[in-house]
């Protein structure tokens, strides 16, 4: 079947060359269609070479940001991760994100990019992240002083979140989600809704 289609494509190309510029675009398009159907067209561009996704990010810091159990608001370091796969990120413990060597060991080849932001109480940070189309996940880590269990780290689907953007609230020891599609961890998913702070316990 493929050889038959190629036999038809070659005369079309020859005709385009003989007929001159006027006929070339039409016949060239027809030949390209036939060759593509035969599986000999241009190869698909790899995801790494495609334009990145534009992912809107909003981080809203509460007045009691990072207040922990002593109720003293402090600045908070937030880290943004572009990831090939979410699994290693979701399984990594808190201390893996406090040291670059541990972080690299925990995330390995899944880590495409990481950058750090420091927020102060009451600040609202908005940006557009350029996320590679290789990425299957976008992770956010908040390095709270007394982090609440499972609420200091979140993983989002960059494809499903591209239209809505990601909106996060950062509080005394936990994050809340206002918008964005969260990728639930395989184990230990939070029992309470991520847009609420009910049942959150610091430390």
Structural domain includes residue 166? yes
Structural domain includes residue 197? no
Give the CATH number, domain containing residue 123. 2.60.40.4150
Structural domain includes residue 202? no
The pLDDT value given to residue 151: 94
Q: CA 81, 87, 88, 90 torsion: positive or negative?
A: positive
- Rounded to two decimals, the pTM is 0.76
User: Residue 169: which domain range?
Assistant: 47-179
The tens digit of pLDDT for each residue in 66-80 reads 998 899 999 999 999
Q: Are residues 18 and 78 located together in one domain of the fold? A: no
8 Å CB contact between 200 and 151: yes
Tally of domains within the chain: 2
8 Å CB contact between 5 and 20: no
Q: Are residues 172 and 106 located together in one domain of the fold? A: yes
Residues of the chain predicted below pLDDT 50 = 2, 4-6, 8-9, 12-17, 21, 23-24, 26-27
Q: Are residues 141 and 61 located together in one domain of the fold? A: yes
Structural domain includes residue 117? yes
Q: Are residues 96 and 139 located together in one domain of the fold? A: yes
Q: Are residues 51 and 108 located together in one domain of the fold? A: yes
The pLDDT value given to residue 199: 79
The pLDDT value given to residue 17: 47
Three-state SS annotation for 172-191: CCCEEEEECCECCCCCCCCC
Q: Are residues 55 and 120 located together in one domain of the fold? A: yes
Structural domain includes residue 76? yes
The pLDDT value given to residue 69: 86
Q: Are residues 131 and 53 located together in one domain of the fold? A: yes
Q: Are residues 61 and 122 located together in one domain of the fold? A: yes
Structural domain includes residue 199? no
Q: Are residues 155 and 175 located together in one domain of the fold? A: yes
The pLDDT value given to residue 61: 98
Question: What count of other Cβ atoms lies within 10 Å of the Cβ of residue 169?
Answer: 18
Structural domain includes residue 188? no
The pLDDT value given to residue 200: 86
Q: Are residues 171 and 85 located together in one domain of the fold? A: yes
Coil, helix or strand at residue 203 = coil
Structural domain includes residue 186? no
Q: Are residues 26 and 123 located together in one domain of the fold? A: no
Q: Are residues 103 and 20 located together in one domain of the fold? A: no
């Amino acid at each position: 079947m493929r050889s038959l289609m190629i036999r038809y494509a070659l005369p079309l190309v020859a005709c385009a060359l003989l007929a001159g510029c006027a006929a070339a675009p039409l016949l060239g398009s027809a030949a390209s269609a036939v060759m593509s159907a035969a599986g000999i067209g241009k190869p698909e561009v790899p995801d790494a070479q495609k334009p990145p996704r534009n992912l809107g990010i909003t981080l809203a810091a509460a007045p009691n940001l990072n207040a922990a159990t002593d109720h003293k608001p402090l600045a908070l370091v937030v880290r943004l991760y572009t990831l090939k796969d979410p699994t290693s990120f979701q399984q990594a413990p808190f201390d893996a994100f406090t040291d670059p060597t541990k972080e690299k060991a925990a995330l390995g080849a899944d880590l495409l990019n990481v950058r750090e932001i420091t927020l102060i109480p009451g600040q609202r940070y908005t940006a557009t992240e350029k996320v590679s189309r290789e990425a299957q996940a976008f992770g956010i880590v908040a390095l709270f002083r007394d982090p609440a269990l499972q609420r200091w780290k979140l993983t989002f689907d960059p494809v499903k979140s591209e239209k809505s953007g990601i909106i996060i609230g950062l509080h005394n020891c936990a994050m809340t989600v206002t918008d964005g599609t969260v990728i639930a961890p395989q184990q230990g998913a939070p029992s309470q809704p991520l847009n609420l702070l009910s049942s959150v316990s610091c430390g």
